[in-house]
Amino acid sequence: MILMVSVQDLYEAKQALKGGADIVDVKNLQEALVGSAHPNVVKQIRDEVPSAHHASVTLGVVPDQIGTVSMAVYAAGTLDATSVKVGFMVSEYSVALETLLAAKEALVGTQTKLIGSLFADNLLYEGGIDPDLMVKLAKEGQCDGFLIDTLVKDGRNLFDFVPEERLKEMVLEGKELGMSTALSGHLKMSDLDELSRVNPDIVGVRGAVCQKGDRDSRVHWESVADFKKQLDLRQTGEINVYDENGSTANKGSDWIIIDGTGKTCAGIIAALSKQINEDASSFVEVIIPDVLNTYDLIVWAEKNSHDIVTQRKDAEGSLRMLIKP
């Protein structure tokens, strides 16, 4: 796995590279949900980034205007971007496919790679393309790779919308087709074990490597270095994300702990549901930093006939709830 950091300008690109990022991905967070940077910004970064590193361009959520998108893709190729990401939220599959084929044609004669992108939370929007179609769309659209990302800004991330096992299947399918595979979407340090088990070629982040841990603040090289170090420790096996049998460390044990720190209530419930679906025989202890979330968890447990065995506060002040499926 290599690290891709989303940047908005040359300063952030230099910070990302100083911290050890392998790819700087140029985008514009101020344009719609996520948009494209201005050509002069891309050119400035592309001219400054050493040839040993990649500088990619994100077009964000593209409109159903095939000629307009093709022209933007052509510009990315002319600017010598390493790759250009074309993302779809609400669109007909046939239109998305035609757009990618036109984009591929626009890149003929350049070294720029075409990356198709869908968003894991697309189904929240009426008419959103199912992210489960990502591999099919990338293959039929003659893409060199694909990216699965998110658009929501409510604390949920990639794993709240697509489970680890399904992401692993999609990544393996992409690799078998010779495509590069990338995952992004409000990923944090706490997601690195799951990411490592999925093992995409590229892990994309922004908020996790910003100075304040907020994607709207500035990318900071020390935060990038910390994230890169932890990524590499899992890549080399110095931090093992599997048990001795090659399965996930939590699976099949008698007592599972789910740390809800940094997760929304929806994220905690999703993690609990996933764990219990995989292993309905083990006790699950969940750490809940926000006491208000306990009420929703109680309702969820009652609705699904799970027993809450104990509730206690730990030394850090977080509530620990022990659940018997």
- Say if residues 149 and 204 touch (Cβ distance below 8 Å): yes
Burial readout 292-311 (b: 16 or more C-beta within 10 A, e: otherwise): ebbeebeebbeeeebeeeee
Please pick, among 85, 104, 113, 228, the residue that the annotation labels catalytic: 85
Can you tell me the distance from the alpha carbon of 68 to that of 56, in angstroms, rounded to the nearest whole number? 19
Q: E strands within the chain?
A: 2-7, 23-26, 54-61, 83-88, 113-119, 145-149, 180-183, 202-205, 255-259, 283-288, 307-313, 319-324
Strand, helix or coil for residue 128: strand
CA distances from 112 to 104, 163, 183, 284 (A): 10, 31, 19, 47
Rg of the chain over all Cα atoms, to the nearest angstrom: 21
Whether 43 is catalytic: no
Which of 201, 203, 199, 219 lies closest to 211 in space, CA to CA? 219
Place of tokens 């893709």: 73
Can you tell me the distance from the alpha carbon of 1 to that of 232, in angstroms, rounded to the nearest whole number? 8
Strand, helix or coil for residue 79: coil
* Main-chain phi, psi angles of 24, to 5 degrees: -105, 130
Please pick, among 14, 18, 27, 229, the residue that the annotation labels catalytic: 27
Instruction: Provide the residue type at 1 as one letter.
Output: M
- Say if residues 320 and 314 touch (Cβ distance below 8 Å): yes
Whether 274 is catalytic: no
CA distances from 221 to 145, 192, 305, 309 (A): 27, 19, 47, 45
Going by the DSSP 8-state scheme, the letter that residue 113 receives in this structure is E
What is the set of active-site residues? 27, 85
